Amino acid sequence: MSIANLKRRLEEKLSGHSVVDVTNAKFVKPQRLLKTLSVLDQKFDDLENSLPLDEKIFRTISKLESSGFGHLTRRDWKNLAWALSKILPGAQEKLIFSDIGKRIIHHFQQSEMDLIGLVYFPLLYSYFALENEDVKNKPAIWLQLRDVLNTNRSGVYRDLKRPKKWMNTLVDYSEILSNSPTKSFVKRFLEDKDASSVANELESLKMAPNSWFWDDLIKSSIQSINGMNEQDYLKIIPRFLHLAEQNLLYTADILVALLERYARTSERQKVNEALKHLALNQWGNPQYESSAGWSNVNANTKQMVIQWFVRADLEAFFKLFSASADINRFNYWIKFIDKISFSQIFLGPSALQSQQTQHKKFRELNRGRLKELMGSTASNNAFLLKIENVYIVDFSDTGNACYAYNYLPYKDKDRRIFIGELKNKNTVLFVGKGGGKIALSHSGDWEARFDEHLDNIGISSNQHRAGNHNSRYGRKY
Protein backbone atom coordinates (compact mmCIF):
# COMPACT_ATOMS: atom_id res chain seq x y z
CA MET A 1 0.00 0.00 0.00
CA SER A 2 1.33 3.44 -0.87
CA ILE A 3 1.82 6.18 1.73
CA ALA A 4 -0.87 8.23 0.02
CA ASN A 5 -3.41 5.41 0.26
CA LEU A 6 -2.54 4.75 3.91
CA LYS A 7 -2.95 8.43 4.70
CA ARG A 8 -6.30 8.49 2.91
CA ARG A 9 -7.59 5.51 4.90
CA LEU A 10 -6.49 7.04 8.19
CA GLU A 11 -8.11 10.36 7.37
CA GLU A 12 -11.37 8.65 6.45
CA LYS A 13 -11.35 6.55 9.63
CA LEU A 14 -10.19 9.20 12.08
CA SER A 15 -12.46 11.95 10.77
CA GLY A 16 -15.22 10.59 12.99
CA HIS A 17 -13.12 9.97 16.12
CA SER A 18 -11.28 12.21 18.53
CA VAL A 19 -9.54 9.59 20.69
CA VAL A 20 -6.94 7.16 19.42
CA ASP A 21 -6.90 3.72 20.99
CA VAL A 22 -3.34 2.96 22.09
CA THR A 23 -4.04 -0.11 24.20
CA ASN A 24 -2.59 -2.51 21.66
CA ALA A 25 0.79 -0.81 21.94
CA LYS A 26 1.32 -2.43 25.39
CA PHE A 27 0.89 -6.03 24.26
CA VAL A 28 2.33 -8.38 21.66
CA LYS A 29 -0.22 -8.95 18.90
CA PRO A 30 -1.37 -12.58 18.39
CA GLN A 31 -0.42 -12.71 14.72
CA ARG A 32 -1.73 -16.23 13.96
CA LEU A 33 -5.03 -15.45 15.61
CA LEU A 34 -5.31 -12.18 13.71
CA LYS A 35 -4.59 -13.98 10.44
CA THR A 36 -7.28 -16.54 11.17
CA LEU A 37 -9.69 -13.76 12.08
CA SER A 38 -8.91 -12.01 8.79
CA VAL A 39 -9.73 -15.17 6.84
CA LEU A 40 -13.00 -15.59 8.73
CA ASP A 41 -13.85 -11.93 8.15
CA GLN A 42 -13.30 -12.35 4.43
CA LYS A 43 -15.50 -15.43 4.31
CA PHE A 44 -18.20 -13.58 6.22
CA ASP A 45 -17.95 -10.61 3.83
CA ASP A 46 -18.22 -12.93 0.84
CA LEU A 47 -21.31 -14.54 2.33
CA GLU A 48 -22.82 -11.20 3.32
CA ASN A 49 -22.28 -9.73 -0.13
CA SER A 50 -23.15 -12.76 -2.23
CA LEU A 51 -25.59 -12.06 -5.03
CA PRO A 52 -29.02 -13.52 -4.17
CA LEU A 53 -31.01 -15.67 -6.57
CA ASP A 54 -33.03 -13.79 -9.16
CA GLU A 55 -36.25 -15.33 -7.84
CA LYS A 56 -35.70 -13.72 -4.44
CA ILE A 57 -34.90 -10.37 -6.04
CA PHE A 58 -38.02 -10.49 -8.22
CA ARG A 59 -40.20 -11.39 -5.20
CA THR A 60 -38.90 -8.31 -3.40
CA ILE A 61 -39.80 -6.11 -6.39
CA SER A 62 -43.32 -7.58 -6.36
CA LYS A 63 -43.54 -6.86 -2.64
CA LEU A 64 -42.47 -3.25 -3.25
CA GLU A 65 -45.07 -2.80 -5.97
CA SER A 66 -47.86 -4.19 -3.79
CA SER A 67 -46.96 -2.78 -0.36
CA GLY A 68 -44.53 0.10 -0.92
CA PHE A 69 -41.35 0.84 1.04
CA GLY A 70 -42.98 0.57 4.46
CA HIS A 71 -42.97 -3.23 4.85
CA LEU A 72 -39.51 -4.18 3.64
CA THR A 73 -37.08 -6.29 5.68
CA ARG A 74 -33.31 -5.81 5.80
CA ARG A 75 -32.96 -8.55 3.20
CA ASP A 76 -35.58 -6.84 1.03
CA TRP A 77 -33.64 -3.56 1.08
CA LYS A 78 -30.50 -5.32 -0.07
CA ASN A 79 -32.45 -7.14 -2.76
CA LEU A 80 -33.69 -3.80 -4.11
CA ALA A 81 -30.11 -2.59 -4.41
CA TRP A 82 -29.03 -5.80 -6.13
CA ALA A 83 -32.02 -5.57 -8.47
CA LEU A 84 -31.01 -2.28 -10.11
CA SER A 85 -28.75 -3.98 -12.66
CA LYS A 86 -31.27 -6.74 -13.43
CA ILE A 87 -33.86 -7.04 -16.19
CA LEU A 88 -37.19 -8.12 -14.74
CA PRO A 89 -39.26 -10.79 -16.53
CA GLY A 90 -41.17 -9.14 -19.38
CA ALA A 91 -39.14 -5.92 -19.19
CA GLN A 92 -37.01 -4.49 -22.00
CA GLU A 93 -34.52 -2.52 -19.92
CA LYS A 94 -32.60 -2.86 -16.69
CA LEU A 95 -34.49 -1.93 -13.57
CA ILE A 96 -32.43 1.19 -12.83
CA PHE A 97 -33.81 2.86 -15.97
CA SER A 98 -37.45 2.04 -15.20
CA ASP A 99 -39.84 4.09 -13.09
CA ILE A 100 -39.45 1.59 -10.23
CA GLY A 101 -35.67 1.85 -10.41
CA LYS A 102 -35.82 5.63 -10.31
CA ARG A 103 -38.10 5.45 -7.24
CA ILE A 104 -35.60 3.15 -5.52
CA ILE A 105 -32.65 5.48 -6.24
CA HIS A 106 -34.66 8.50 -5.07
CA HIS A 107 -35.55 6.69 -1.83
CA PHE A 108 -31.90 5.85 -1.13
CA GLN A 109 -30.97 9.49 -1.77
CA GLN A 110 -33.23 10.43 1.16
CA SER A 111 -32.26 7.51 3.45
CA GLU A 112 -30.40 7.59 6.77
CA MET A 113 -26.87 6.27 7.14
CA ASP A 114 -27.88 2.99 8.80
CA LEU A 115 -29.88 1.95 5.72
CA ILE A 116 -27.20 3.18 3.31
CA GLY A 117 -24.59 1.16 5.18
CA LEU A 118 -26.75 -1.93 4.75
CA VAL A 119 -27.21 -1.55 0.98
CA TYR A 120 -23.95 0.18 0.06
CA PHE A 121 -22.14 -2.79 -1.44
CA PRO A 122 -25.16 -4.05 -3.45
CA LEU A 123 -25.55 -0.50 -4.80
CA LEU A 124 -21.86 -0.46 -5.68
CA TYR A 125 -22.19 -3.81 -7.42
CA SER A 126 -25.14 -2.58 -9.48
CA TYR A 127 -23.24 0.58 -10.41
CA PHE A 128 -20.41 -1.43 -11.95
CA ALA A 129 -22.62 -4.25 -13.29
CA LEU A 130 -24.04 -2.02 -16.01
CA GLU A 131 -22.48 -2.40 -19.47
CA ASN A 132 -20.92 0.21 -21.71
CA GLU A 133 -24.02 0.36 -23.89
CA ASP A 134 -26.09 1.17 -20.78
CA VAL A 135 -24.02 4.15 -19.65
CA LYS A 136 -22.27 5.49 -22.78
CA ASN A 137 -24.57 8.53 -22.79
CA LYS A 138 -24.17 9.00 -19.03
CA PRO A 139 -27.86 8.68 -18.09
CA ALA A 140 -28.96 10.92 -15.22
CA ILE A 141 -30.19 8.06 -13.01
CA TRP A 142 -26.81 6.32 -13.23
CA LEU A 143 -25.09 9.56 -12.18
CA GLN A 144 -27.54 9.85 -9.28
CA LEU A 145 -26.56 6.36 -8.15
CA ARG A 146 -22.91 7.39 -8.29
CA ASP A 147 -23.76 10.47 -6.24
CA VAL A 148 -25.37 8.27 -3.55
CA LEU A 149 -22.19 6.19 -3.40
CA ASN A 150 -19.89 9.22 -3.34
CA THR A 151 -21.87 11.19 -0.78
CA ASN A 152 -22.05 8.32 1.70
CA ARG A 153 -18.68 6.67 1.24
CA SER A 154 -16.93 8.40 4.14
CA GLY A 155 -19.86 7.88 6.50
CA VAL A 156 -20.12 4.18 5.69
CA TYR A 157 -16.37 3.77 6.11
CA ARG A 158 -16.39 5.43 9.53
CA ASP A 159 -19.31 3.31 10.73
CA LEU A 160 -17.69 -0.01 9.84
CA LYS A 161 -16.85 -2.00 12.97
CA ARG A 162 -14.10 -3.82 11.11
CA PRO A 163 -12.29 -2.93 7.87
CA LYS A 164 -13.79 -4.25 4.65
CA LYS A 165 -11.49 -4.99 1.75
CA TRP A 166 -13.88 -3.53 -0.82
CA MET A 167 -14.20 -0.30 1.17
CA ASN A 168 -10.42 -0.02 1.51
CA THR A 169 -10.25 -0.33 -2.27
CA LEU A 170 -12.76 2.49 -2.67
CA VAL A 171 -10.77 4.70 -0.32
CA ASP A 172 -7.45 3.86 -1.98
CA TYR A 173 -8.87 4.63 -5.42
CA SER A 174 -11.34 7.39 -4.68
CA GLU A 175 -11.36 8.52 -8.33
CA ILE A 176 -13.14 5.29 -9.26
CA LEU A 177 -16.40 7.09 -8.44
CA SER A 178 -15.49 10.21 -10.41
CA ASN A 179 -15.86 11.39 -14.00
CA SER A 180 -12.44 9.85 -14.75
CA PRO A 181 -12.74 6.47 -13.04
CA THR A 182 -9.96 4.67 -14.93
CA LYS A 183 -7.36 7.35 -15.57
CA SER A 184 -5.09 6.29 -12.71
CA PHE A 185 -5.05 2.67 -13.94
CA VAL A 186 -3.93 3.40 -17.51
CA LYS A 187 -0.17 3.23 -16.89
CA ARG A 188 -0.38 -0.16 -15.17
CA PHE A 189 -2.83 -1.47 -17.76
CA LEU A 190 -0.49 -0.57 -20.62
CA GLU A 191 2.59 -1.95 -18.88
CA ASP A 192 0.92 -5.37 -18.57
CA LYS A 193 -0.12 -7.77 -21.32
CA ASP A 194 -3.74 -7.55 -20.22
CA ALA A 195 -6.03 -6.15 -17.53
CA SER A 196 -5.32 -8.93 -15.02
CA SER A 197 -3.29 -6.85 -12.56
CA VAL A 198 -5.92 -4.11 -12.50
CA ALA A 199 -8.64 -6.75 -12.13
CA ASN A 200 -6.76 -8.34 -9.23
CA GLU A 201 -6.36 -4.96 -7.54
CA LEU A 202 -10.10 -4.33 -7.81
CA GLU A 203 -11.18 -7.92 -7.19
CA SER A 204 -13.04 -7.06 -3.99
CA LEU A 205 -15.47 -4.84 -5.95
CA LYS A 206 -16.67 -7.90 -7.90
CA MET A 207 -16.79 -6.11 -11.24
CA ALA A 208 -18.28 -8.18 -14.03
CA PRO A 209 -16.07 -8.88 -17.08
CA ASN A 210 -18.56 -6.95 -19.23
CA SER A 211 -18.70 -3.94 -16.89
CA TRP A 212 -18.57 -0.49 -18.47
CA PHE A 213 -15.43 0.05 -16.37
CA TRP A 214 -13.26 -2.10 -18.64
CA ASP A 215 -14.48 -0.28 -21.73
CA ASP A 216 -13.69 3.01 -20.04
CA LEU A 217 -10.20 1.74 -19.22
CA ILE A 218 -9.58 1.03 -22.90
CA LYS A 219 -10.95 4.45 -23.89
CA SER A 220 -8.76 6.20 -21.32
CA SER A 221 -5.75 4.27 -22.60
CA ILE A 222 -6.48 5.33 -26.18
CA GLN A 223 -6.87 8.96 -25.10
CA SER A 224 -3.49 8.81 -23.36
CA ILE A 225 -1.71 8.21 -26.69
CA ASN A 226 -2.05 11.83 -27.75
CA GLY A 227 -0.14 13.15 -24.73
CA MET A 228 2.68 10.59 -24.69
CA ASN A 229 6.23 11.67 -25.34
CA GLU A 230 7.77 10.14 -28.46
CA GLN A 231 9.93 7.59 -26.67
CA ASP A 232 7.06 6.21 -24.58
CA TYR A 233 4.72 6.22 -27.56
CA LEU A 234 7.03 4.25 -29.87
CA LYS A 235 7.63 1.73 -27.10
CA ILE A 236 3.92 1.21 -26.41
CA ILE A 237 2.77 0.63 -30.03
CA PRO A 238 2.95 -3.22 -29.79
CA ARG A 239 0.77 -3.17 -26.65
CA PHE A 240 -1.92 -1.18 -28.45
CA LEU A 241 -1.73 -3.43 -31.50
CA HIS A 242 -2.36 -6.41 -29.22
CA LEU A 243 -5.19 -4.50 -27.56
CA ALA A 244 -6.72 -3.81 -30.99
CA GLU A 245 -6.52 -7.49 -31.86
CA GLN A 246 -8.26 -8.51 -28.63
CA ASN A 247 -10.91 -5.76 -28.70
CA LEU A 248 -12.23 -5.47 -32.25
CA LEU A 249 -14.81 -2.90 -31.19
CA TYR A 250 -12.00 -0.42 -30.50
CA THR A 251 -9.65 -1.34 -33.35
CA ALA A 252 -10.58 1.71 -35.44
CA ASP A 253 -10.21 4.11 -32.49
CA ILE A 254 -6.84 2.61 -31.57
CA LEU A 255 -5.66 2.81 -35.18
CA VAL A 256 -6.69 6.46 -35.51
CA ALA A 257 -4.89 7.44 -32.30
CA LEU A 258 -1.73 5.50 -33.19
CA LEU A 259 -1.50 6.90 -36.72
CA GLU A 260 -2.18 10.51 -35.70
CA ARG A 261 0.50 10.31 -33.01
CA TYR A 262 2.97 8.58 -35.34
CA ALA A 263 2.53 11.39 -37.87
CA ARG A 264 3.93 13.81 -35.26
CA THR A 265 7.05 11.78 -34.51
CA SER A 266 10.50 12.23 -35.95
CA GLU A 267 10.13 8.75 -37.49
CA ARG A 268 7.08 9.45 -39.66
CA GLN A 269 9.06 8.62 -42.82
CA LYS A 270 10.07 5.25 -41.39
CA VAL A 271 7.60 2.53 -42.38
CA ASN A 272 5.93 0.83 -39.41
CA GLU A 273 4.92 -2.48 -41.00
CA ALA A 274 2.61 -3.55 -38.19
CA LEU A 275 0.65 -0.28 -38.29
CA LYS A 276 0.65 -0.31 -42.08
CA HIS A 277 -0.71 -3.87 -42.16
CA LEU A 278 -3.43 -3.12 -39.60
CA ALA A 279 -4.46 -0.01 -41.52
CA LEU A 280 -4.64 -1.95 -44.79
CA ASN A 281 -6.82 -4.64 -43.21
CA GLN A 282 -9.05 -2.13 -41.45
CA TRP A 283 -9.60 0.53 -44.14
CA GLY A 284 -8.09 -0.78 -47.35
CA ASN A 285 -5.45 0.84 -49.52
CA PRO A 286 -5.24 4.61 -48.75
CA GLN A 287 -4.15 5.17 -52.35
CA TYR A 288 -7.73 4.53 -53.51
CA GLU A 289 -10.29 7.29 -53.00
CA SER A 290 -12.97 4.62 -52.52
CA SER A 291 -11.34 3.60 -49.22
CA ALA A 292 -13.70 5.69 -47.10
CA GLY A 293 -12.21 4.60 -43.78
CA TRP A 294 -9.27 6.92 -44.31
CA SER A 295 -11.53 9.90 -43.69
CA ASN A 296 -11.05 9.07 -39.98
CA VAL A 297 -7.54 10.57 -40.01
CA ASN A 298 -6.13 13.91 -41.11
CA ALA A 299 -5.02 14.32 -44.73
CA ASN A 300 -1.42 14.73 -43.57
CA THR A 301 -1.60 11.43 -41.69
CA LYS A 302 -3.14 9.66 -44.68
CA GLN A 303 -0.34 11.00 -46.87
CA MET A 304 2.20 9.58 -44.41
CA VAL A 305 0.71 6.10 -44.80
CA ILE A 306 0.54 6.44 -48.59
CA GLN A 307 4.26 7.21 -48.51
CA TRP A 308 4.77 4.09 -46.38
CA PHE A 309 3.21 1.99 -49.13
CA VAL A 310 5.23 3.73 -51.82
CA ARG A 311 8.49 3.36 -49.92
CA ALA A 312 7.79 -0.30 -49.11
CA ASP A 313 6.88 -1.00 -52.75
CA LEU A 314 10.05 0.62 -54.06
CA GLU A 315 12.22 -1.13 -51.48
CA ALA A 316 10.63 -4.46 -52.37
CA PHE A 317 11.06 -3.83 -56.09
CA PHE A 318 14.66 -2.66 -56.07
CA LYS A 319 16.05 -4.48 -53.02
CA LEU A 320 13.89 -7.47 -52.09
CA PHE A 321 12.89 -8.92 -55.48
CA SER A 322 15.86 -7.63 -57.46
CA ALA A 323 18.66 -10.07 -58.29
CA SER A 324 21.13 -7.31 -57.39
CA ALA A 325 19.96 -4.35 -55.33
CA ASP A 326 19.68 -1.37 -57.68
CA ILE A 327 20.28 1.40 -55.15
CA ASN A 328 20.70 4.11 -57.78
CA ARG A 329 17.27 3.51 -59.28
CA PHE A 330 15.70 3.28 -55.81
CA ASN A 331 17.28 6.59 -54.79
CA TYR A 332 16.14 8.20 -58.02
CA TRP A 333 12.44 7.39 -57.64
CA ILE A 334 12.25 7.78 -53.86
CA LYS A 335 13.08 11.48 -54.21
CA PHE A 336 9.58 11.98 -55.67
CA ILE A 337 7.88 10.34 -52.67
CA ASP A 338 6.17 13.49 -51.41
CA LYS A 339 4.41 13.81 -54.81
CA ILE A 340 3.46 10.15 -55.25
CA SER A 341 -0.18 9.37 -54.49
CA PHE A 342 -0.37 5.83 -55.85
CA SER A 343 1.94 2.86 -56.38
CA GLN A 344 1.41 -0.59 -57.83
CA ILE A 345 3.70 -3.61 -58.06
CA PHE A 346 3.42 -6.26 -60.78
CA LEU A 347 5.22 -9.51 -59.92
CA GLY A 348 6.37 -12.09 -62.44
CA PRO A 349 6.21 -15.87 -61.85
CA SER A 350 9.57 -16.08 -60.06
CA ALA A 351 8.62 -13.47 -57.46
CA LEU A 352 5.08 -14.80 -57.04
CA GLN A 353 6.21 -18.38 -56.50
CA SER A 354 9.35 -17.69 -54.47
CA GLN A 355 9.47 -19.50 -51.13
CA GLN A 356 12.02 -17.16 -49.60
CA THR A 357 10.81 -16.04 -46.19
CA GLN A 358 10.98 -12.31 -46.95
CA HIS A 359 9.23 -12.75 -50.29
CA LYS A 360 6.40 -14.73 -48.68
CA LYS A 361 6.09 -12.16 -45.90
CA PHE A 362 5.82 -9.26 -48.37
CA ARG A 363 3.16 -11.06 -50.40
CA GLU A 364 1.19 -11.86 -47.25
CA LEU A 365 1.36 -8.30 -45.89
CA ASN A 366 0.23 -6.95 -49.26
CA ARG A 367 -2.45 -9.51 -50.00
CA GLY A 368 -4.97 -7.96 -52.40
CA ARG A 369 -2.61 -5.16 -53.52
CA LEU A 370 -0.31 -7.06 -55.86
CA LYS A 371 -0.88 -7.81 -59.53
CA GLU A 372 0.61 -10.55 -61.71
CA LEU A 373 2.75 -9.57 -64.70
CA MET A 374 1.95 -11.74 -67.73
CA GLY A 375 3.67 -12.24 -71.08
CA SER A 376 7.21 -11.46 -69.97
CA THR A 377 10.20 -13.37 -68.64
CA ALA A 378 9.77 -15.22 -65.34
CA SER A 379 12.21 -12.90 -63.57
CA ASN A 380 10.72 -9.62 -64.78
CA ASN A 381 8.69 -7.41 -62.43
CA ALA A 382 7.21 -3.95 -62.93
CA PHE A 383 6.05 -0.99 -60.88
CA LEU A 384 3.78 1.97 -61.51
CA LEU A 385 3.95 5.31 -59.69
CA LYS A 386 1.44 8.12 -59.97
CA ILE A 387 3.57 11.25 -59.59
CA GLU A 388 1.21 14.18 -59.43
CA ASN A 389 -1.01 13.39 -62.46
CA VAL A 390 1.43 11.31 -64.50
CA TYR A 391 1.69 7.49 -64.38
CA ILE A 392 5.27 6.19 -64.55
CA VAL A 393 5.95 2.52 -65.43
CA ASP A 394 9.34 0.85 -65.06
CA PHE A 395 10.65 -2.73 -65.12
CA SER A 396 13.28 -4.79 -63.31
CA ASP A 397 14.89 -6.77 -66.15
CA THR A 398 17.42 -5.10 -68.43
CA GLY A 399 16.20 -4.33 -71.91
CA ASN A 400 12.95 -2.79 -70.64
CA ALA A 401 12.53 0.98 -70.83
CA CYS A 402 10.54 3.44 -68.68
CA TYR A 403 7.15 4.76 -69.82
CA ALA A 404 4.93 7.68 -68.81
CA TYR A 405 1.19 8.09 -69.43
CA ASN A 406 -1.56 10.55 -68.66
CA TYR A 407 -3.93 7.67 -67.84
CA LEU A 408 -3.84 4.38 -65.94
CA PRO A 409 -2.61 2.01 -68.66
CA TYR A 410 -4.55 -1.06 -67.49
CA LYS A 411 -7.91 -1.97 -65.97
CA ASP A 412 -7.47 -1.70 -62.23
CA LYS A 413 -10.01 -4.44 -61.50
CA ASP A 414 -7.86 -6.99 -63.38
CA ARG A 415 -5.44 -8.98 -61.22
CA ARG A 416 -3.37 -10.18 -64.19
CA ILE A 417 -1.80 -7.54 -66.43
CA PHE A 418 -0.07 -8.29 -69.74
CA ILE A 419 3.21 -6.49 -70.27
CA GLY A 420 1.94 -5.03 -73.54
CA GLU A 421 -0.59 -2.93 -71.61
CA LEU A 422 2.28 -1.29 -69.72
CA LYS A 423 4.46 -0.71 -72.82
CA ASN A 424 2.46 1.42 -75.24
CA LYS A 425 4.66 3.74 -77.32
CA ASN A 426 1.63 5.17 -79.10
CA THR A 427 0.44 6.97 -75.97
CA VAL A 428 3.69 7.46 -74.03
CA LEU A 429 4.34 11.07 -72.98
CA PHE A 430 8.10 11.16 -73.46
CA VAL A 431 9.17 12.85 -76.71
CA GLY A 432 12.56 12.42 -78.41
CA LYS A 433 14.68 15.08 -80.12
CA GLY A 434 13.08 14.27 -83.45
CA GLY A 435 9.59 14.83 -82.02
CA GLY A 436 8.62 11.17 -81.91
CA LYS A 437 7.29 9.34 -78.84
CA ILE A 438 9.90 7.35 -76.95
CA ALA A 439 10.45 5.25 -73.85
CA LEU A 440 13.49 6.01 -71.67
CA SER A 441 16.34 3.53 -71.33
CA HIS A 442 18.63 3.28 -68.29
CA SER A 443 21.87 3.47 -70.25
CA GLY A 444 24.61 6.06 -69.78
CA ASP A 445 23.83 9.15 -67.70
CA TRP A 446 20.21 8.09 -67.42
CA GLU A 447 19.37 10.10 -64.26
CA ALA A 448 20.02 13.45 -65.96
CA ARG A 449 18.12 12.31 -69.05
CA PHE A 450 15.15 11.20 -66.93
CA ASP A 451 15.17 14.56 -65.10
CA GLU A 452 15.05 16.42 -68.39
CA HIS A 453 12.17 14.40 -69.84
CA LEU A 454 10.20 14.50 -66.59
CA ASP A 455 10.69 18.27 -66.45
CA ASN A 456 9.28 18.47 -69.95
CA ILE A 457 6.02 16.92 -68.78
CA GLY A 458 5.86 19.04 -65.62
CA ILE A 459 7.34 16.63 -63.08
CA SER A 460 10.25 17.46 -60.79
CA SER A 461 11.27 16.39 -57.33
CA ASN A 462 11.89 18.75 -54.43
CA GLN A 463 15.56 17.90 -54.91
CA HIS A 464 15.49 18.97 -58.55
CA ARG A 465 13.75 22.24 -59.37
CA ALA A 466 15.54 23.08 -62.62
CA GLY A 467 13.91 22.66 -66.03
CA ASN A 468 11.09 24.03 -68.11
CA HIS A 469 7.65 23.65 -66.52
CA ASN A 470 5.85 25.54 -69.26
CA SER A 471 5.71 22.55 -71.60
CA ARG A 472 2.72 21.67 -73.70
CA TYR A 473 1.88 18.94 -71.18
CA GLY A 474 1.86 21.33 -68.22
CA ARG A 475 0.04 19.82 -65.21
CA LYS A 476 -3.31 19.10 -66.73
CA TYR A 477 -3.25 15.36 -66.24
Under DSSP, the state recorded for 436 is -
Residue 386 pairs in a beta bridge with 342, 391
pLDDT band of residue 473 (cuts 50, 70, 90) is very low
| 426-470 pLDDT tens trace | 999 999 999 999 999 999 999 999 999 999 999 998 765 444 444
| 327-351 pLDDT tens trace | 899 999 999 999 999 999 999 999 9
d(CA 396, CA 77): 80
pLDDT band of residue 292 (cuts 50, 70, 90) is confident
Q: In what order do the strands lie in the sheet with 403-405?
A: 403-405, 390-395, 382-387, 340-347, 371-374, 416-418
Residue 229's contacts (CB-CB under 8 Å, 6 or more residues apart) are none
φ/ψ (deg, to 5) at 79: -60, -35
For residue 315, CA distances in Å to 68, 309, 322, 346, 383 come to 76, 10, 10, 14, 11
Which residue type occupies 192?
D
Q: Is the predicted pLDDT of residue 216 greater than 80, yes or no?
A: yes
| 123-143 pLDDT tens trace | 999 999 999 999 999 999 999
Q: Is the predicted pLDDT of residue 90 greater than 80, yes or no?
A: yes
Q: Domain residues of the chain, as ranges?
A: 3-18+26-178, 299-456
| 23-42 pLDDT tens trace | 455 556 677 765 665 555 55
d(CA 172, CA 2): 9
SS3 52: coil
The answer to whether 118 and 73 are in contact (CB under 8 A) is no
**pLDDT of amino acid 9:** 60
pLDDT band of residue 474 (cuts 50, 70, 90) is very low
**pLDDT of amino acid 469:** 41
d(CA 280, CA 361): 15
